[in-house]
Copies of this chain bind each other. A is one copy, B any other.
Amino acid sequence: MSDNQLFERVAIIGTGLIGSSVALAIRLNGLAGHVACHDADPEVRARAEALDIADSMHADIADAVGDACLVVVAAPVGACGTIAAAMRDHLRLGAIVTDVGSVKRSVLEAMTPHMPDGVHLVPGHPVAGTEHSGPEAGFAELFQNRFSILTPPGDADTWAVSRIKSLWEGMGADVEIMDAEHHDRVLAITSHLPHLIAYTIVATAADLETELEVKSRDDDVVTTREVIKYSAGGFRDFTRIAASDPAMWRDVFLLNKEAVLEMLGRFNEDLTALQRAIRHNDGDALFDLFSRTRDIRRGVIEARQAGRFHYTENVKSDDEGS
C-alpha cells in the first residue's frame, strides 16, 4: 500500500480525456489501492482497456461502483443525472461521489436526488484540459499546477470535502472552494464564452467558401484552403479551442445557459461599440481599449497561468494543458 493512498478502491465513470487522466494520475501517485473504470460506450471502453489505464474495466456500472469508496463521474455534464440514477442502488454506505464537470449548479441539482443516505456528494471541476478527446488523450500530469474547484453544498460532510481536496492535491492541483452559482459565472467568462466565440469564428471562416458564396461573389472568394494556410495570423489559436469535444460543450452551454447568455450579452455590447468605433474612424477609442487589455495579460502572466510555449515544427498535435 502506497504512503499516499487515500482510498482503497476508486471507480471512474467515463474514460475520455479527463476520466482517463484521473485514472492515470491516481495510479501514478498511488492515491488508491484499485482503480476501476466504466464507460458506457463499448468502443471507448475497449480502447481504454487496451491502453491499460485502470486496474479493472467494467461493462456494467454496478460492478465498477459496487465496492468503491470514491466514485468520480467524468462524463458530459448532461449525463450526470442519468449516471447518478444508474448507480444509486449500488453505492456503498459512506462512499464519496464527485464529478469533474465545467458546470456545477445543474450537476448538483441533477445528482443530489439520486444520492442515498450516507453517500457524500462533493462536486468538483479541474480547470484543465486539452482540445483532444478520448482515452488516448489522457495523461497523468494534466492537473499539475492547475486549479481544481470544489463546490460542496452548504450541508456537505466536512470529512468528505477534505478527502476530495486531498485527492486533487495528490494529483498536483491547487484546490479552491466556492459556491456553485459563483463558479458557473466565473467559468462562463473564463471558459464557456471563449469556447463559444472560438466555435463561432471557425464556423464563420469555414462558411466563406460555400457554393452560394462562390456563385454570388466569384470575383473574390476567400477559400478554406487560404483560411488554413494563413491561420498563423491569429485564427490558429481559435481553431485549437474549437476542436474541443462537441458533446461536452453542447451540455455546458445548455446547462449554464443563464450565465453564458449574460456574459454573451455583455460581450455583444462591447463588440458593437468597437464595430461602431471602426465605422466612425474613432482611432482613439480603439487605441484606448487595446491598451487597457494589456494589463489583463500582465495579470495572467504574473499569476503563472500563461506558461511558455516552445514552438516545434511539423507535428501532428499540440498538447498544451488548457
Contacts and interface: CB of A to CB of B under 8 A. Distances in A.
A159 interface: no
A222 B193 CA distance: 14
Interface in A253-293: 253-254, 257, 260-261, 263-264, 266-268, 270-271, 274-275, 278-279, 281, 283, 286-287, 289-293
A28 interface: no
B202 A322 contact: no
A278 B290 contact: no
A296 B232 contact: no
B320 A311 contact: yes
B237 A303 contact: no
Nearest to A272: B268
Contacts of A314: 304
Interface of A: 78, 102, 127-129, 131, 145-147, 149, 181-182, 185-187, 189-208, 220, 222, 224-244, 246-247, 249-251, 253-254, 257, 260-261, 263-264, 266-268, 270-271, 274-275, 278-279, 281, 283, 286-287, 289-301, 303-322
The 5 closest A-B pairs by CB, nearest first: A191-B233, A309-B309, A246-B290, A194-B234, A243-B297
